[in-house]
Structure 1
Amino acid sequence: CRRSGARRGSGVLEVRFLRETLRIFLPQVAFQPELPLIEQVITLRYLINASGMPPTGRWISFSDLPGGAPYFPAFRKRVVEPLLKCFSGAGGKLVEAAEALGGEELDYGDVGVVFQVFPKVKVAFVLWEGDEEVPSNANVLFDESVRGYLSPDDLRELGWRLVYRMIKEVRHAPHH
């Protein structure tokens, strides 16, 4: 528990997930509030695999993760390209969407936002605006310590879920 930042009470574990405190009742492993099954699985893997490694402050991309490089093209297509398509030229909307979901602005790239997904896991979404000569670009970055907590598979799923929550937030936000 200590290595993950979770707290253990009598028959219950509490861990932060984005803006919420999850309560996991043991031994039945019941989540409150309820989460989609894949998010429950990722949370349990986080708790089980937690290395206690402190954040390094160094950001790495998915392709830098152990075992991540072969899957980067799929990660780019599923996570990075939708981020770029929705938010390129609309960095302010990225910040608004992230803040509405518990993220905060990050001083990285032209526009960046960061989510504290679990107590020891941060995920950043970064845009670089292009010009006539250079196309816009985006990336999803992780604190280097993430390798001590989650697999590339888990991080791909988390990245995808966060991007789509931000896209949904923008589509459902009141227009000014």
Structure 2
Amino acid sequence: DVPLPEKIVISHYLLKADGSKLTGNLINFRQIPDGHFYYSAFQKRATDPLCMTFGKNPKSLLECGIELGAIPSKYGDYSIRVSVLPRVPLILVVWKGDDEFPPEASILFDDSIVNYLPVEDIAVISGMTVYRLMGLKRQLQSKDNKK
């Protein structure tokens, strides 16, 4: 059964989607109209967990992403492109930290995303995607520990 938050996002998508093509212009969450109002929640729900989970081993983002059906992308140290809904890709990016800088993470969106989802739902799908990846990482680690 589909969880209620996902049903709500899908309903909003079906109501708002206008068929716009992807532009190829990537933006971050703050660049989405009204994104600055939700940025703190977005950061706590999506980018902070992404960084905490994959920042020390960014290659694991690629491994987990492939399990989820994502494709490798060209940003940061490691990044993946996840198609959450038709014409709604997320680019999850991780930079590995070093002696001078801590790990960082970012999520990028095609700027056409505003033609498909409201800003609140963009935060929700970002968090859902990150948490699915986190679950996959735990599963893969569990399998490795059993070997």
The question of a shared fold, defined as TM-score above 0.5 by the shorter chain, is answered with yes
Structure-2 separation of matches of 1:130 and 1:92: 13
Structure-2 separation of matches of 1:131 and 1:35: 40
Code of the aligned partner of 1:81: D
Measure how far apart 1:58 and its partner are. 1.4
Asked if 1:43 is matched to 2:10, the reply is yes
* Aligned equivalent of 1:71: 38
Q: CA RMSD in A?
A: 1.2
Asked if 1:90 is matched to 2:57, the reply is yes
Measure how far apart 1:131 and its partner are. 2.1
Q: Deviations over 1:43-72 (max 9, x none)?
A: 111111012211011111111101111211
- Higher gyration radius (CA): 1
Structure-2 separation of matches of 1:63 and 1:167: 24
Asked if 1:154 is matched to 2:88, the reply is no
Corresponding residue pairs, total: 143
Report the identity percentage: 34
Measure how far apart 1:147 and its partner are. 0.6
SS at match of 1:43: helix
* Aligned equivalent of 2:79: 112
Code of the aligned partner of 1:54: K
Q: Which has the higher contact order (CA 8 A, sep 6+)?
A: 2
SS at match of 1:170: helix
Unaligned stretches of 5+ in structure 2? none
Matching residue within 42, 45, 60 for 2:27: 60
Measure how far apart 1:42 and its partner are. 0.7
Measure how far apart 1:130 and its partner are. 2.4
* Matched-pair contact (CA < 8 Å) for 2:29–2:109: yes
Code of the aligned partner of 2:113: V
SS at match of 1:171: helix
Structure-1 separation of matches of 2:45 and 2:12: 22
SS at match of 2:93: strand
Measure how far apart 1:105 and its partner are. 0.9
Measure how far apart 1:134 and its partner are. 2.2
Unaligned stretches of 5+ in structure 1? 1-33
SS at match of 1:126: strand
Code of the aligned partner of 1:62: F
Code of the aligned partner of 1:71: Y
Matching residue within 110, 121, 138 for 1:171: 138
* Aligned equivalent of 2:110: 143
